[in-house]
């Protein structure tokens, strides 16, 4: 998992620097989200591949109210 970028606000003296630091922080968060999303999609894909599509849909819709 990539490390989250930590802004050292004591070294930021201009708005341009603050924007640049914020962009680095957001980029680090997005890279972390990508790792987590990829893991979730991989796990969901494995679980879904193990089930029969028709049976899964029947069970899912059968449990919905109304």
Going 40 to 42 to 46 to 49, the CA torsion angle's sign is positive
- How far apart CA 30 and CA 37 sit, in angstroms, is 10
pTM: 0.59
Looking at residue 45, what is its pLDDT? Answer: 74
What are the tens digits of pLDDT across the range 12-55? 999 999 999 999 999 999 999 998 988 888 887 766 666 667 77
Phi, psi of 33, rounded to the nearest 5 degrees? -60, -35
Nearest to 27, CA basis, from 56, 63, 2 = 2
- Does residue 21 contact residue 7 with C-beta atoms inside 8 Å? yes
């Amino acid at each position: 998992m990539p490390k989250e970028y930590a802004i050292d606000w004591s070294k930021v003296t201009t708005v341009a620097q603050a924007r640049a630091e914020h962009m680095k922080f957001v980029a680090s968060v997005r890279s972390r989200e990508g790792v987590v999303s990829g893991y979730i999609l991989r796990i969901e894909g494995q679980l879904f591949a193990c089930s029969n599509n028709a049976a899964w849909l029947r069970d899912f819709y059968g449990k919905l109210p109304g």
